[in-house]
Each structure stands twice: as structure tokens, then as C-alpha cells.
A and B are shown apart, each in its own frame.
Chain A
Amino acid sequence: MIDLDDLDRAMLRALALDGGLSAGELGRRLGLSQPAAWRRQKRLEEAGVIKGLRLEVDRTALGFGVTVFLGVKLAAKGRVSLEDFERAVVAIPEVQVVQHVLGLFDYRLRVVARDIADFERVLRRRIMTLPGVGNVEANVLLTEERRAGPIG
């Protein structure tokens, strides 16, 4: 874990909102020279604090009007391997997120579809046929908001 000062935190906040900022623009906002801003950004990337970039798109504008979160319970734990389930589920193009969780479900999935009929197709043909899949709960996403989190 690296030590972060106030400027690092301000930089993280700025980049979390706009990851495409140039070192020059970052420097202007933080009162640093362009090379100093660049060095700090590189240091944050090399320390792994910044994992990478995420491209945010308007999924509806691109024809994917439905996003559904699925809670999946595996049917027969012990008999089916988690690896088999995971290998199959990550290969489904409509599945964007797969998280192994502890609680009411074993996995959380984020699934995108063109519309409800398309979602039903993905659910029946792709999800319900996964190895070991048991109970599935679906919640249709209405709004989502990413917060900056506890930075400084």
C-alpha cells in the first residue's frame, strides 16, 4: 500500500470523473507543472491504485435498453465445480460482470440485453443452461450512480 498525499487524492478524484484528462490539464487543475502531474499519475498507475480505464457508454443509445442483475444460487454445491460454472458464465457475451459472493446467493451477474424479450432469450438459453445453476433472482436496473468513494 502506498502513502497518498492530498495532491494524489485530488488527482484520483479528478481521474475517477474524467480518466481522459491530459497531464497538462491535470497539472493546471492541481497547480502542478505538466511533468510533475505526469510523474504522479505514473506513480499511481505503477502502484496499482489506478487499475485502468473504463469507457462509459449509454447502453440504451447503443441498442441495449435492458440491464438486469441476477443473483444465482448453485444447485448442488460440492458436486458441481465452481470453475466449470465460472468458465461457462464468463464466456457469455451478454454477461458483463461476474462476482463470487457470500450470502443469499453464490454469484452476482450483470446481464445486458436489447429488450425484455432478448433478456428472456439470454436467461433461458444461456443462464439457465449453465452447469450447476439453481435458483436465480432477477432485478431490472433502473438507475446507477458511481460515487467517488472515501478519497481524502
Chain B
Amino acid sequence: MFIDETDRRILRHYLADPAASRAVLAERAGVTTATLWRRMERLGDQGAVKGLRAVIDWRRMGYEVEVSLRFTLDKTNPRAFDEFIEAARLVPEVIGIETFLGRVDVRLNVIARDMAQYQEIYRNRILALPHIAEVEALMLIATIKDSEGLPL
């Protein structure tokens, strides 16, 4: 895929402010609106830009607790990853699933209304997931930065 300097400039501004109108983005990137539309369409067709998603503020929805659970799995079972992930998808409070190469195999992002509910989810849903060898928890205190920005 060929991405030139104009594409990069557009993407920098688009990533920094996805809610901006096309006209505003074009002005910031120093291109005409027509060029911007054409470039964005091409980036979409090439699969470089996948789309927009609304970001939900779970705290506002009453979910005060967010925990990052890091698992190592029992890899003697060749289906361990697939079965673990399939089961994790059935837990509604799991808002993210990531797999890794490293000391950690899988990470689940889990939210709960309060510590009591978290404890219930952890005991009844999380520890019941298959093939867990080890679990570690990191409790989120604050998100200092959260961006999709790339040093383009």
C-alpha cells in the first residue's frame, strides 16, 4: 500500500480529532474538501482506515471499577487459547480481549459497578474460565492518555 505525505497529514489530523467535520479536517490538513473525500475513501478501501466507534464512558454508566486481568494459560492443551477466549466473550463485563507474546498470554479488561460486584464477577465468571494457569490483576486508578495517534 502506498501512503504519501498528504495521506499522512490527513490521518494525523483525523486521528487527533475524529469528530471534526470533513471541511474542518480539509482546512487543517491544507487540502481541498474534494481531495480529502477522495483520499479518505481510498484509505478506507485499502483497509488502512477501519471506521469510527463511539467511546462509551463506563464511569458515567455507573461502572466505577475497571481491572486489567492478565492470564497465563495452561498451554499443554492446544485448544486453550480458543476455549478461553470463547468463554470470556460470554462474560458481558469483559470489554476487551487481547492476546500477547510474552510472559502474559491473554489480558481481559473487566468493568464492574463496585468492588462487591467485581468480586462476584471475579469469583463466579472469571475464575470459572477454562485453562487458567495464573491470574494477576492491575486495578485502574486513572487513564492519563488514551489516543489512537501514530507518529506518522
Q: Could you tell me if B61 and A1 are in contact, using CB atoms closer than 8 angstroms? A: yes
- What residues on A are CB-neighbors of B144 within 8 Å? 86, 89-90, 98-100
Give the shortest distance, in Å, between A73 (CB) and chain B (any CB).
11
- What residues on A are CB-neighbors of B61 within 8 Å? 1, 4, 49
- Give A44-70 as 1s and 0s: 1 = Cβ < 8 Å from B's Cβ atoms: 000111111111111101111000010
Q: Could you tell me if A53 and B18 are in contact, using CB atoms closer than 8 angstroms? A: yes
Give the shortest distance, in Å, between A150 (CB) and chain B (any CB).
4
Q: Could you tell me if A141 and B52 are in contact, using CB atoms closer than 8 angstroms? A: no
Confirm or deny: A76 has a beta carbon within 8 angstroms of a beta carbon on chain B.
no
- What residues on A are CB-neighbors of B149 within 8 Å? 93, 96
Q: Given A57-B148, A62-B152, A102-B138, is A108 in contact with B52 using a C-beta cutoff of 8 Å? A: no
Instruction: Report the contact-size class of chain B (Cβ under 8 Å from the partner).
Output: 35 or more
Give the shortest distance, in Å, between B150 (CB) and chain A (any CB).
6
Q: How far does the alpha carbon of A47 sit from the alpha carbon of B50 in the complex, in Å?
A: 27
Give the shortest distance, in Å, between B76 (CB) and chain A (any CB).
20
Q: Could you tell me if B68 and A108 are in contact, using CB atoms closer than 8 angstroms? A: yes
**Complex interface residues of chain A between 82 and 109 (CB less than 8 A to chain B):** 86, 89-90, 93-105, 108
- What residues on B are CB-neighbors of A4 within 8 Å? 61
Q: How far does the alpha carbon of A98 sit from the alpha carbon of B98 in the complex, in Å?
A: 17
B contacts, CB < 8 Å to A: 1, 3, 11, 14-15, 18-19, 46-58, 60-63, 68, 89, 92-104, 107, 111, 136-152
Contacts A55-B18, A100-B142, A102-B139 known; list 8 others, CB within 8 Å.
A51-B57, A54-B55, A57-B11, A57-B150, A69-B107, A99-B144, A104-B138, A140-B102
A contacts, CB < 8 Å to B: 1-2, 4, 12, 15-20, 47-59, 61-64, 69, 71, 86, 89-90, 93-105, 108, 112, 137-151
* 27 pairs, A vs B, C-beta closer than 8 Å: A1-B60, A16-B56, A49-B61, A53-B55, A55-B18, A57-B11, A57-B15, A59-B150, A61-B48, A63-B3, A63-B152, A64-B150, A90-B144, A95-B145, A97-B147, A100-B140, A100-B141, A100-B142, A101-B139, A105-B138, A112-B150, A140-B100, A142-B101, A144-B97, A147-B89, A149-B92, A150-B92
